[in-house]
Amino acid sequence: MQRENRTFDELTVGETAELKRVCTADDLFVFASASGNFNPMHLPGYDLDHDGRPDEVTAPGMWVASLISAVLGTILPGAGTLYRSQSFEFLGRARAGDDLVARVRVTAKHDDGTVTLATSVHREEGEEELLRGEALVTAPSTKLQYEEQDMPGLVVQRHRHFDALVAQAEPLPPLIVAVVAPEEPNALGGALLATRHTLITPILIGDVGKIAAAAAELGESLDGIEIIDIADHAAAANAAVDLVVEGRAAAVMKGHLHTDELLRAVLRKENGLRTGRRLTHIFVMDVPGVPHPLLVTDAAINILPDLATKVDIVQNAIDLALSLGIEQPKVGVLSAVETVNPQIVSSVDAALLSKMAERGQITGGLVDGPLAMDNAINVAAARTKGIVSPVAGRAQVLVVPNLDAGNMVAKQLTYVSHAEGAGLVMGARVPIILTSRADSAKARLASCAVAAIYHARTAGKTRAGGEA
């Protein structure tokens, strides 16, 4: 973007400028690192009230005030402006997620080349004034036209959402998990790591020799862990389902076997784990810079889902999001466009899913579509397109058109945006933990945490309702 400053001679009394900015949690971490102000009130994840819940994050007053500097230095007067003095009166508090507007207005010009400006910052919704003051600056004397610098991006590489999920799951009773074919180090290591964090109690089912060899390679002990020696993968998967049917296990975890072998046992007609819904896969992703977990579905099971399958995909994702504490999940149904085009099937399906949610055929969340990826997760992009919706720009669940798109979205987030992804299959009687050989230890641990939290929340509801 080309910028042009306003010299002292060009400035007129009454001239105004403004800059809009969304306050994100990562802004607060960057400010803390740059300023040295590590007041926990201004950092996500702290429980200052000791009530077991993280407190609402309040932006530091000087971070809000810094938005005034951004207007003065880049817009009015612009490049070449130097501060002489600045007063502030703090009238309210900004919080992570707020849309803010910083404004300046020229109130006086002085013979020494200085300019006085009234300054303020407002919360855009409701125009609540958070800060007001007065700035005295030396205005630029030389005219400058320049291209706005392409600043290097800052990525705050934290996986705070996964840390929070693990912390939430650790106090729960360990989830008894039938782990199928944990016969290589990655598959076994994830189960043992979750065991150390008290998230699960594993029952290992597979070739006992290969399991022991994997443990030896990891330098881990299997003392006290139940192992069922079944070398054949199909038979091991059936044994895992039997444990669930018998009430001895409350989840199934994929080890070193093909996904279809595991799901074939889950879907068997006799004593399987069917519920009447389609099995659907959900990635729970912790994306640096995104202030909430991002659920992506379906990226692993349903290749070309029809509308009926997409209904189950959406409902399963909403149910999981609710169990994770997202009170009213915002579901963005993705397409290549944000308007309905009869030639683009995904746009038509998205509109139908949105209407079905309005009519109560999908419950528990807000569903909107079609949305393109940018205006589903970026408020500014949604505004640019003129999309007015509680979901647009704020989606917590992304429903993709097909498996190809979902796989690409998930891997792009992982390998370009440095995200971690936990994987769970929903739609069966119990959660199915689906991990990949490429998953990190953090992702495997988070997958178990998500399953444990979901089981605890849904089991509690079932007991309360008196259902079998």
Cβ atoms of residues 250 and 290 within 8 Å: no
Query: Among 274, 301, 317, which residue terminates a domain?
Result: 274
143 and 160 together in one domain? no
196 and 142 together in one domain? no
84 and 193 together in one domain? no
Q: What pLDDT, on a 0 to 100 scale, did the predictor assign at position 379? A: 86
Distance CA 104, CA 113 (A): 18
6 and 66 together in one domain? yes
DSSP annotation of 219: T
User: Which residue's structure tokens are 């044994």?
Assistant: 239
Residue 203 belongs to domain with CATH number: 3.40.50.10950
Residue 378 belongs to a domain: no
Cβ atoms of residues 187 and 211 within 8 Å: no
Residue 345 belongs to a domain: no
128 and 19 together in one domain? yes
Q: Strand 280-286 to strand 420-426: parallel, antiparallel, or no bridges (unpaired)?
A: antiparallel
Element (H, E) at 399: strand 397-399
Q: 10 Å Cβ neighbour count for 409?
A: 19
- Sheet strands side by side (includes 251-254): 226-229, 200-206, 175-180, 251-254, 432-433, 420-426, 280-286, 294-297, 397-399, 330-334, 366-371
pLDDT tens digits along 173-183: 999 999 999 99
User: Which residue's structure tokens are 């991990």?
Assistant: 435
Query: Among 118, 147, 176, which residue terminates a domain?
Result: 147
84 and 169 together in one domain? no
The CA-based angle 261-263-267, given to 5 degrees, is 125
63 and 195 together in one domain? no
pLDDT < 50: residue spans in the chain: 462-468
161 and 260 together in one domain? yes
Sign of the alpha-carbon dihedral angle for 353, 374, 325, 22? negative
pLDDT tens digits along 85-123: 999 999 999 988 899 999 999 999 999 999 999 999 999
**Tally of domains within the chain:** 2
Query: Among 147, 178, 213, which residue terminates a domain?
Result: 147
Contacts by 225-230, CB closer than 8 A, 24 or more apart: 225/195, 226/202, 227/203, 228/203, 228/204, 230/205, 230/206
Residue 93 belongs to a domain: yes
Residue 42 belongs to a domain: yes
What is the domain range of residue 130?
2-147
134 and 170 together in one domain? no
User: Which residue's structure tokens are 């009454």?
Assistant: 14
Distance CA 298, CA 426 (A): 10
